[in-house]
Structure 1
Amino acid sequence: MTETENTVEIVRKATRELARKFDNDYWLDKDRKHEYPWDFIKAFAAGGWLGAMIPEEYGGIGLGLREAAVMMNEISSSGAGMSGGSAIHFYVFPPAPVVKYGSEEMKREFLPQLASGELLMAFGVTEPDAGVDTSRIKTKAVKVDGGWKVNGQKVFITNAQNAQKILLLARTSPRRDDKPLWGMSLFLADMDREHIAVREIDKLGRAAIDTNELFIDDLFVPEERLVGEVDKGFYYLLDGLNPERIVVGMEGIGLGRAALELASEYAKNRVVFDRPIGQNQAVAHPLADSWIRLEAAEGMAMRAAELFDEGKPCGPEAAAAKYLGAEAGFEACDRAFSTLGGYAYAREYHIERLWREVRLLRNAPFSQEMVRNYISQQVLGLPRSY
């Protein structure tokens, strides 16, 4: 076993033990109450895990993507699903542009606070009229004395009910047809409630974690809160997209494994017609097939993470990891639902919660169709279809 493989296994074991201290009933309670899991976050903060990918000189532990991906998989597969996964995800991955492109002063001020859990950050990119075409965002930042004034709207923004900061993408120059993704800048802004109205969105799953619309009215952002250079913000985000895709895939795999664990236990103990239902191939084979697909999806995800950690191109592998993780995770949850039959509708069995949460990953952070578009064009060399 290599040193990296040994570290991955250490992280896997440690985070599995920690995550499983919060059982399915804990997450059911948080889901029912729509209650943010602060005690879960504090436990991971105490272990230093919130700073998993933040360099040691800024208060983190400086792990690679392979270790972080395994950690997120263990959180999700513990039964925490996307409620627990998102709670930790937003400490680990959205700060990536700050780590790479932020000023030294910005890093020293904010990264230690993120690593310790003192600071919660939202991530403001998506807009209601832009969809997956980020070049069409309408939120604008206009230069003023000492900084910028921002006006616009964002949607599907996680953590905005509690966040103190937001990593905010805004137009700073008009859109150009020849370079549509140029002209947007990235700001680490205050969540100033006098200038940002936050409206929570009632949604299907992941109820413990808030999702919101933001209405931004003359928000002032000081000059020193610009991340990197003006007009290059979207390109900074691209550096974080591959890690996010890989980790989202691993979270989908974890959700599938959590459902598979529950369904297998039920199938061993549920007796119908004088035999456990797991003795029937119509029950056993779909669950076995899901195990195979989840293992294969993890293989792709870890391959993509390895390429990323080695500084090699990993776009197709990262996209495939997200695609396979979302598909295998949803299929496993859906088959677990069928295994429990009518009992799957009962919240106390936890399957319906996992099923609701995993469905999100087919659409976010981008759809399965967009993955196929990307592979068609970038890998197979086919003409652009959209």
Structure 2
Amino acid sequence: MDTSCFTQTQLDIHNSVNKICAQFTDQYWAEHDESGEYPHELHAALAKDGWIGIALPEALGGAGLGISEATVMLQTISQSGAGMAGAQSIHANVYATQPIAKFATEEQRQIMLAGLIKGDYRVCFGVTEPNTGLETLKLKTQAVKEGDNYFISGQKIWISSAQVATKMVLLARTTPIEEVRKPSEGLSLFFVDLDKNAPGLELKRIKKMGARAVDANEVFFDNFRVPIETRIGEEGKGFQIVLHGMNAERCLLAGEALGLGYAALGKASKYARERVVFSRPIGQNQGIQHPLASAYMHLEAAKLATYHAASLYDNLSQDKSITTHAVGLACNSAKYLAAEAAFTACERAVLAHGGMGYSQEYHVERYLRECFIPRIAPVSREMIMNYVAEKALKLPRSY
């Protein structure tokens, strides 16, 4: 990992996390990708050394660091060869808890976050729905209040780690959309127990192309009961609260994409140095060199955009010159650039290997399958371009 643009603290994080990740070989990740088995051992090792709470308050046992440092951690995990699967195994535990750390009561934080930081349980994030997709403000999952409880009915989709998580950060509609003045009103955020045996809850695993070691799921709620004390913040203000975690997630995913891209380039460069054809290493040929060099430069540019965005996010509350508008633009731009740079690096890594790039033995085919994740989620590349066109260039809204 190039040391430029990182603080000493961030470099220390990289070195420490990298030592943990070194225990998990390429073969470990290939086998877990093949079997779909969750990487419990990585989560346990990271929790043991306190890394799950890297961006959570010290008072709860966290490290009290920023999203910049969390992004370094997730880039390091991905770049170690764990790829998106390794990073995604703790991804939601880092970003989905940010709204809780900021908006929950002190009592709620103690109950909800302390055990997570210690690794006693895991959390997943329940926002996306099958019929609303990117239209978050049109979510249909309902939470109906009755006495001291809410009863939730609806469906969520693409919920990572729901099979192993025992908690969910859930966004649901507490006021029907036709009864609110603005679509952003009437949504509430909950931190619920994901008891698989509780009535009104059903999970269905989705078979997917990449990062198969981390489960993705459809989650069905049918009058699923959650106590009122699981609600975070004021009723109806959940969308504004959850936004605090969305920009953080864009930074983290950008870091994961960077790690994947650098890992792919590392494999390709090694192969190009060692593979001899026509009595010379193929890496001596400009037809191999130039695509890889170009991919490297795009990753380096995306790296600068990513850590610039993370720095803006971390300093928003202290630096009055930083606006939420600037943070949103930077975080979305970084996620887009890192995802595209990772795709290019992974594709060229496969091509540099020739026919062997198609083989599981060299791992780059796994990276290529995984690199579509940051291009698609949590918001598509096209929607980011819509956002940037509107917010930065003042062009008419297209959606």
State if a TM-score over 0.5 links the two structures. Answer: yes
**4+ long deviations beyond 3 Å:** none
Q: 1:190 pairs with 185, 190, 193, which one? A: 193
Amino acid at match of 1:366: V
Partner of 1:288: 293
Determine if contact 2:305/2:333 at 8 Å carries over to the other structure: yes
Give the match for residue 177 of structure 2.
175
Instruction: Say yes or no: does 1:254 pair with 2:281.
Output: no
Q: Counterpart of 1:305 in 2: which secondary structure?
A: helix
TM-score relative to the length of structure 1: 0.97
Contact kept in structure 2, 1:185 and 1:231, CA below 8 Å: yes
Partner of 2:268: 263
Cα distance, 1:178 vs. partner?
A: 4.9
1:216 matched to which residue of 2? 221
Find the residue that maps to 1:148 and give its secondary structure: strand
Distance 2:53 2:211 in 1: 23
Q: In the alignment, which of 136, 147, 150 is matched to residue 138 of structure 2? A: 136
Structure 2 residue corresponding to 1:149, chosen from 148, 151, 169 = 151
- d(CA) in 2 for partners of 1:235, 1:377: 20
Tell me, in whole angstroms, the C-alpha distance in 2 between the residues paired with 1:142 and 1:242. 29
Whole-angstrom distance in 2 between the partners of 1:104 and 1:273: 68
Please name the residue that 1:376 is paired with.
389
- Asked if the contact 2:201–2:221 (Cα under 8 Å) also holds between the matched residues in 1, the reply is yes
The one-letter code matched in structure 2 to 1:226 is R
Identify which of 197, 206, 214 aligns with 2:211.
206
Aligned pair partner of 1:44 in 43, 46, 53:
46
Identify the residue that residue 362 of structure 1 maps to in structure 2.
375
Match of 1:272 among 260, 277, 286: 277
Q: What corresponds to 1:81 in structure 2?
A: 83
5+ residue gaps, structure 2, are: 317-321
| Partner AA of 2:24 in structure 1 | F
Question: What percent identity do the matched residue pairs reach?
Answer: 44
Q: State the SS of the aligned residue for 2:153.
A: strand
In 2, Cα distance between the equivalents of 1:116 and 1:259?
32
Could you tell me how far apart the structure 1 residues matched to 2:304 and 2:108 are? 36
Larger CA deviation: 362-371 vs 304-313: 304-313
The count of residues paired between Structure 1 and Structure 2 equals 384
**CA contact 1:269–1:276 (8 Å) conserved in 2:** yes
TM-score after normalising by structure 2: 0.94
Residue 344 of structure 2 is aligned to residue 331 of structure 1: yes
SS at match of 1:362: helix
- The alpha carbon displacement at 1:269 in A equals 0.6
RMSD over aligned CA atoms reads 1.3
Deviation track 1:73-92 (CA, whole Å, cap 9, x = no partner) reads 11111110111000121221
**Is the Cα–Cα contact under 8 Å of residues 192 and 219 in structure 1 kept in the other structure?**
no
Q: Among residues 56, 64, 67, which one is paired with 2:66 in the alignment?
A: 64
Paired residue secondary structure (1:199): strand
Separation of aligned partners in 1, 2:195 and 2:261: 38
| Cα deviation, residue 190, structure 1 | 1.4
Alignment match, 1:344:
357
Query: How big is each residue's C-alpha offset from its partner over 1:111-130, in whole Å with a ceiling of 9 and x where there is no partner?
Result: 11111111111111000000
Question: Are 1:256 and 1:328, in contact at CA under 8 Å, matched by a contact in 2?
Answer: yes
Structure 2: distance between partners of 1:375 and 1:178: 26
For structure 1, which runs of at least 5 residues remain unmatched after alignment?
Answer: none
More deviation in 302-311 or 204-213? 302-311
Q: Deviations over 1:10-46 (max 9, x none)?
A: 1122112222221211101111110000111111111
Note the alpha carbon deviations across 1:170-212, whole angstroms, 9 max, x for none.
1111215751111100111111333210000001011000000
Of residues 21, 29, 37, the one that matches 2:31 is: 29
Match of 1:322 in 2: 335
2:118 maps to a residue whose letter is S
3-state SS of 1:291 partner:
helix
CA distance in 2 between partners of 1:195 and 1:347 (Å): 41
Whichever residue aligns with residue 338 of structure 2, its letter is G
